[in-house]
Amino acid sequence: MSVAAATTVIGKRRATRVASNPDRRRRVRTAFLFLTPSLIGVVLFLVIPVIFVMVLSLTRWNLLTPIKWVGFSNYANIFRFDGFGHSLLVTAYYVVLNIPFQTVLALGLALLLNNKRTGSAFIRIICVLPFLATPVAMGVVWNWFFSPTGIINQILAHVGITGPAWLSDQATAMPVIAFASIWQYAGYNMLFFLAGLQAIPLSLYEAASIDGGTKIQQFRRVTLPLLRPALLFVLVTTVIGSFQVFDTVYVMTAGGPGNATKVANLNIYNTAFAGFRIGEASAMSVVLFLIILVITVAQFRYFNKRTTYEIG
Amino acid sequence: MASIASVKPASASVSRASTTTSPSSLGKGIRLAVFYLLLLVILLVFITPYLFSAFAAFKTLPDILAQSPARPPMHPTLENFKTIFTQYDFGRYLLNTLLVTIILTTGQVLFSMLGAFAFARMDFPGREGLFWMYLATLMVPNVVTLVPLYVMFAHSGLLNTYWAIFLPYVLGVPASVFLMRQYFMTIPKEVMEAARLDGCSESRILWRIVVPISRPIIITATLLAVVFGWNNFLWPLIVTNSNSLQVLSVATANFNSNFGVQWNLILAASLVALIPMVILFAIFQKHIVRSISLTGINR
Amino acid sequence: MNVQRPWRFSLRPARTLVRVAVAVIALTLLSGCAGWGFGGSGSGSANGPVTLVYSLWDPHEQVGYQQSIDVFEKMHPDIKVDIENVPYGSYQQKITAEFITGGAPDLFWVNTPWLGSFVKNGMLTNIAPLIKASHINMGQYYPQLVALHSVGSKIYGLPKDWDTIALYYNKAYFAKLHLAVPANLSWNANGTGSFVTFLKAATTDKSGHNALSPQFNPNQIATYALGVNNDPQGGWGNYVAEAGGKIIPFPYAPLASLTTPAVNAGMSFLTDTLTNAHVIVPGALSGPNANGNNLEQMFAQGQVAMWEEGDWNTVSVKSSVTFPVGVTTLPIGPEGRISVFNGLIDGINSHTRYPKQAWELEQWLGSAQSQAILGAGGYVWPAIKSLDPLFLKYWAKNGIDMSAFLTEAHGKVVNFPVSPGIGDALTEVGNDLGPAWLGTESASQALKTAQTDANYILRTS
C-alpha cells in the first residue's frame, strides 16, 4: 500500500496498518521493552508489597528473631493494646478538619483568580508556592510561628487576646496541623479547579443568563455540576493523602500532646520502626488500606450516580 | 436584553467568568477593592512563612527572640549558614538530596514516559489488563507499602544505602505513567500511523515525534518528580541510618529534635531545604500552571 | 484536543535524553559503590590500624570516657576509637535499626530497660568464655551488677558503673526552718511514721505555716517538702520495693506483677497518702503525666525542698542551684531501706568485624585503671567497689556529700527489672499510672490497667 493510499483512510485503524508479521512482532517486542521498567517497578514495589504486608500481618516478628505465626490476633491486639482505634479516630478528625476547608478554599481561590485582572496571574503562581515546601521544613517554621511567644500569639496580643499554647493544648494541636496542610495544598488543588473551570464552555453561561439566571444560580446549575470531575479528583486525592498524614505531625507534635495528634501513620511508624513490631504494624497498614479503599470506592460511586454528560 | 453581556472570544481569553456589567461604577469599584484586598490577604498568608523564616535565618538568635519576625534583619549575617554547613554537615545533606533527586527524577520520568507511550499508542496483547493493574495500584496508599518494602530491602542488604532512597520510585510510577498517557492519547493517531508507514521504528516515533510536542507534560512530570524526591521524608527516614546518608528533610527533622529552641539554626536549616524548590519553580512556573489544564482531568 | 504545534524532527531531545540516561546510570553505579556494608561500622584492614566505633549518650560522661579512651589508644597504637553520641531518647531504636541495617557500632552502652531485648535479639556477645580466658576477677565488681547482666552462665558485659536513688535537699531552706534532716526516717503503709511527719514539717505555705500547723493553707503552698516522679527507677520504684513489691516476678519474666498488695501499698502511699497530706509536688505540676520533668527546675527555684532522683543528676544539680546541696538516704519502709540499683555495661556487637580489638576495649573499660579515671573525675560511680572513694572525694571537694548514695549501695538494693520489652512496657505503665498521680483514678485501678498493658508487651516482645 502506498503512503498516499494510506493517508486517504485517516481514522480507520485497520486500513492503515500493514499487516506484516515480522514487523508487528517487532513492534510488540518494542512495546514490552518500553513497558518493562515501569512494570518491574509496579510489580516489585507495589503489587508484591501489598501481598507481602497481608502475609506479615499474620506474624509476630522483629526482624532479628525467628518469625512466629499468630493468625489474626494482631488485628484484635492493635485495637486493644496499641491504641490504633484512637489513632483512626484522630486521623478521621484530621480528615474532617482538612478536607472541607481545603476543598472550599481551593475552589474559592480558583473562582476568585479565574480572570485576567492585573495581579491574578501573579497570585495564581503565589498560591502554588506552598506546594513546593518540604513539609518537614515548613513544619519547623510553623513550630516557630505557633510557639507560645511566636508571631501568631504576638498578633493576637495586639488585639488583646491571649493565644493558647497552640501545639501543647489538646484542643488546638490538631487544628493547627490541619491548618498546615490546608496552607500547603490549597493552591495546588486550586490548579485542578482552574482547569475544570476553564473547560466549561462559555455558551453554557450565555444560555443560563439568557434564561434569566443570577450569578449564584449559574454557579449552582452550570459551574458546580460541570466541576464534578475536578471535584472528584481533588476529593479522592486529598482524602487518600490525608489518611496518610505524617511529616507535619512528626515534626510539629510527634503525636502529642498526650495522644491528641497520634495519627494512624505515626502509630504505624512507631510500632514498626521504633518498636520493631512488624506484625502489628502490618495489620495496622492493612486496616488503614481497607478504610481508604472503602472511602475511595464510596466517593466514586457517589459521583458516578450524578454524572453530567458531555455537552456538544 | 440587558443581560446579554460583553462576551469575550473563547480562544484568546483566560477568563470564562460570567460577565454581566455591574449596575454602577461605584459597585464595580467596591468589588475591585474587595478583590484586591483578598489578593493581598492571599499574598500575605502564602508568602509570610517563607519570608519570615528567610529573615530569621539571617539574624542572630538574640535578634530573633527580641525582634518581631516581620522585621527584616538589620545586620544580615551568614553565621547561621556557616555553622550548619561547617559544623553540622548540611553541605553533605544538600548533596545527598541533589544526587537522590536527580537519579529518581531522571529514571522516573524516562521510564514512565516509555510506559505511557506503550499504553497510549502501541498495540500489544494484554494492554488493557496491564493498564488496569497500573490504575489499581494508583489507589494503593504509600503507608501500606512502607513495612513490607522495608523488610524486602532489609533482606536484600540494601538498607542504609543511596539505592534504598530512590529505588522504589526510579523505575517509573503509575501516577506519572497515567499523567503522560492521558496526554499522549491526545496526539492524533494519524501522525504516528503515517510515521509507521514511512518505516519509522516505535522508538523513533517516540523520540522524534511525540517527545518534542509533549514538552509541557514532560516538564510537568519532571517537576512533580523533583518536588516529590526533594520533599520525600518518611521513606528516607526509615531506610537510612547513617548520618552521612541523610537527605535534607531527614536532617532538618533531626536537627529540630536536637536543638530545641535554637531558632536561628533551625530556620536556616529549613531555608536550605525550602529555597531550591522555590528557585526551580520561579524558572518553570509558566509550564506548571499551563500544563495542568492539558492533563484532561475532565475526561 | 488539537495539537498545538506541528511536529517536527528534532535530534536534540533524543541526544540530550541519551546523555542524561548515561549520566543516571553512571551516578547510580557510583552511588552504589558509595553504599555501606555489613558488619561493624568500624574500618581498617586486618593488619593496619583498626577504628572501632563506640556509642554512648551522656555528654557529661563522654568527657570522662574520652580521657579514658585517650589512655587506651596510647596503650594500643593499632586501635583507634571513635566515640559517637546518640541521643538517649532514640538510643535503643537507633542501635537496633543500625543492627538491622548492618552498621551497628562495635561497642555501645547498654541500659537495663533494653538489655533483655538486646540479649533476646542476639545483638550482644557473650563474653563469659573471654572472661575465663583472660582471668578477669569478677569479684571486684558489685555482685548485683554481675547478676544483672548475666543470664545463666552467660554474661554480656563487664560492669562499669552503678546508680542508686537518694534525696537531694536544699540545705539553705532547712537551715532557715531550723530543721535538721534526720538520716533514718521511716514510713508505714497506713501513712504513719516519722517520714510523713517530717515532710509535713518541711512543707510551708505562702504565709510561712508548715503542714503540721492548723493554719496551713494547702492551696497556697510555697515549698513542697518532696518531689517524687512517676518513674520506676527514680520515683515510685523505691517505695514499691520498700513495701516488698516487684515490678516483674523474676528476671526475664514474660509478665508483670503490678497488682500484688505490696505494689499497691507502695504506690498508693505516694499517690494517696503523701498527696492528700499535701507534702509532695502534685502530679500535674511535676510534668506531663507526672514524669517529673519540672522537678529539677522547681528544686533550683526553691519550690521543692527535697528532690528524689538518681546520682547521675549531680552535675546538672550543681550547675543549676545557688544554694548548698546535701544528700540524704531514702526513708525506711516496711521492708527496710531499699533503693533501685542499676548499672550500664558496654555491649560488644555480636557481628563486629573486630572481635579481638573490641574485647581489648571492653577489658579496658571494665578495668580498674579506666574506672579510676571516671571515678576520680566525678563522672560516675565505678562498678569496682574499691574505687568508690574516688568519686566520693571528688564531690566532697566540690561541695556535695554523696555518701548517702554509697550507703544505700552497700545496703539492700533491688536491681532494675530486666526482660525483653521491659523498657516499652514501663513506658506504657507510666502512661497508665498518670491518672493515679493526677488524682483522677485510684492507684489500684491504674495498676490493673498497667498490668494488662505491660503483660501484653512483655509477652509479645
Three-state DSSP class for residue A31: helix
Residue A178: count of CB within 10 angstroms of its CB: 23
Question: How confident is the model at residue A135, as a pLDDT?
Answer: 94
Distance between CA atoms of A50 and B147, rounded to whole angstroms? 10
Angle CA C47–C48–C51, to nearest 5: 115
What is the sign, positive or negative, of the torsion defined by CA atoms of C401, C407, C408, C409? positive
Q: Hey, is the C-beta of C59 within 8 angstroms of any chain A C-beta?
A: no
Return the HEC string of C176-245: HCCCCCCCCCECCCCCCCHHHHHHHHHCEECCCCECCCCCCCCCCEEEEEEECCCCCCCCHHHHHHHCCC
What is the sign, positive or negative, of the torsion defined by CA atoms of A85, A88, A94, A96? negative
Question: How confident is the model at residue B67, as a pLDDT?
Answer: 86
Distance between CA atoms of C9 and C80, rounded to whole angstroms? 63
Question: How confident is the model at residue A109, as a pLDDT?
Answer: 94
- The neighbouring-strand residues paired with C227 are C307
Domain map (residue ranges) of chain A: 25-51, 73-305
Q: What is the mean pLDDT of chain C?
A: 89
Domain map (residue ranges) of chain C: 50-162+343-394, 165-341+421-460
Same fold, C50-162+343-394 and C165-341+421-460: yes
Which class would CATH give C50-162+343-394?
Answer: alpha beta
Backbone angles phi, psi at C345, to 5 degrees: -130, 165
- The neighbouring-strand residues paired with C84 are C55
Distance between CA atoms of A6 and A20, rounded to whole angstroms? 15
Of A140, A282, A286, Cβ closest to residue B266: A140
- The per-residue pLDDT for range B77-125, each reduced to its tens digit, is 999 999 999 988 899 999 999 999 999 999 999 999 999 999 988 888 8
Distance from CA of C36 to the nearest CA of B (A): 6
Q: Residue C403 class from Cβ within 10 Å (0-12 exposed, 13-18 middle, 19+ buried)? A: middle
Give me the DSSP letters along C400-424.
Answer: ---HHHHHHHTSEEEEPP--TTHHH
Distance from CA of C120 to the nearest CA of A (A): 8
Distance from CA of B132 to the nearest CA of A (A): 12
Reported residue count of chain B is 299
Contact (CB<8Å) A40/B154: no
- Lookup: cell for A296: 475511595
Contact (CB<8Å) C35/B161: yes
Tell me whether the omega of the peptide bond preceding residue B125 falls within 30 degrees of 0, making it cis. Answer: no
Reported residue count of chain C is 461
Of B143, B172, B250, Cβ closest to residue A41: B172
Three-state DSSP class for residue B85: helix
Q: Please, what's the largest Cα pairwise distance for chain A?
A: 85
pLDDT band, residue C45 (cuts 50/70/90): low
Query: What phi-psi label fits residue A40: left (phi over 0), alpha (psi between -120 and 50 degrees) or beta?
Result: alpha
Choose the mutation target among A18, A34, A286 for the interface with B, i.e. most B CBs under 10 Å.
Answer: A34
Angle CA B51–B54–B59, to nearest 5: 130
- The per-residue pLDDT for range B248-286, each reduced to its tens digit, is 999 998 888 777 678 888 899 999 999 999 898 888 877
Three-state DSSP class for residue C155: strand
Choose the mutation target among A2, A27, A38, A265 for the interface with B, i.e. most B CBs under 10 Å.
Answer: A38
Fold assignment, A73-305: MetI-like fold (1.10.3720)
Contact A268, A282 (CB under 8 A): no
pLDDT at C91 over 60: yes
**Strand ordering across the sheet containing C107-110:** C79-85, C50-56, C107-110, C345-348
Chain B residues in contact with C38 by the CB 8 A cut-off are: 157
Question: How confident is the model at residue C154, as a pLDDT?
Answer: 97
Instruction: Cell 488543588: give the residue.
Output: A189
Choose the mutation target among C1, C3, C7, C92 for the interface with B, i.e. most B CBs under 10 Å.
Answer: C7
Distance between CA atoms of B287 and B214, rounded to whole angstroms? 12
CA nearest neighbour of C67 among C317, C397, C365, C347: C365
Q: Quick one: angle between helices A84-113 and A73-80, nearest 10?
A: 80
Contact (CB<8Å) B106/C94: no
Give whole-number Cα distances, A216 to B3, B36, C62, in Å: 15, 21, 70
Q: Which CATH architecture has domain C165-341+421-460?
A: 3-Layer(aba) Sandwich (3.40)
Distance from CA of C94 to the nearest CA of A (A): 8
Contact A247, A136 (CB under 8 A): yes
- The neighbouring-strand residues paired with A59 are A69
CA nearest neighbour of C98 among C308, C350, C304: C350
Chain A residues in contact with C288 by the CB 8 A cut-off are: 257-258
Of A31, A128, A293, Cβ closest to residue B118: A31
Choose the mutation target among C5, C12, C15, C28 for the interface with B, i.e. most B CBs under 10 Å.
Answer: C28
Structural domains for chain B? 91-256+270-295 (1.10.3720.10)
Low-confidence ranges of chain B (pLDDT < 70): 1-23, 260, 288-299
Return the HEC string of C268-291: HHHHHHHHHCCCECCHHHHCHHHC
Q: Quick one: angle between helices B90-121 and B215-231, nearest 10?
A: 140
For residue C362, which amino acid is it?
A: E
Question: How confident is the model at residue C4, as a pLDDT?
Answer: 41
Question: How confident is the model at residue C316, as a pLDDT?
Answer: 87
DSSP code for B20: P
Instruction: Cell 468589588: give the residue.
Output: B31
Which residues are CB-neighbours of C332 under 8 A, at least 6 positions away?
C184, C185, C186, C187, C195, C242
Distance between CA atoms of B144 and A286, rounded to whole angstroms? 7
Q: Hey, is the C-beta of C205 within 8 angstroms of any chain A C-beta?
A: no
Residues 37-96 of A with CB under 8 A from B: 37-42, 44-50, 52-53, 56, 63
- Lookup: cell for C115: 538489655
Distance between CA atoms of C164 and C343, rounded to whole angstroms? 9
Low-confidence ranges of chain A (pLDDT < 50): 1-16, 308-312
Give C102 or B37, the one with higher predicted confidence.
B37
Chain B residues in contact with A27 by the CB 8 A cut-off are: 122-124, 202
Residues 7-46 of B with CB under 8 A from A: 7-8, 10, 13-18, 20, 35-36, 38-39, 42-43, 45-46
Helices (H), chain A: 3-7, 13-16, 21-42, 48-56, 73-80, 84-113, 120-128, 135-145, 151-158, 173-198, 202-210, 215-218, 224-226, 228-243, 247-252, 264-269, 278-305
Question: How confident is the model at residue B227, as a pLDDT?
Answer: 93
Give me the DSSP letters along B173-237.
Answer: -HHHHHHHHHHHTTS-HHHHHHHHHTT--HHHIIIIIIHHHTHHHHHHHHHHHHHHHHH--HHHH
Residue A203: count of CB within 10 angstroms of its CB: 11
Strands of C23-117, DSSP E = 50-56, 79-85, 107-110
Contact (CB<8Å) B144/A285: yes
Distance from CA of B196 to the nearest CA of C (A): 15
Q: Quick one: angle between helices B25-57 and A173-198, nearest 10?
A: 130
CA atoms within 13 A on the CB side of B254: 26
Question: How confident is the model at residue A201, as a pLDDT?
Answer: 82
CA nearest neighbour of B248 among B39, B95, B115: B95
Distance from CA of C288 to the nearest CA of A (A): 8
Distance between CA atoms of A65 and A53, rounded to whole angstroms? 18
Residues 280-319 of C with CB under 8 A from A: 288
- The per-residue pLDDT for range C301-347, each reduced to its tens digit, is 999 999 999 999 998 899 889 999 999 999 999 999 999 999 999 99
- The per-residue pLDDT for range C180-203, each reduced to its tens digit, is 999 899 999 988 999 999 999 999
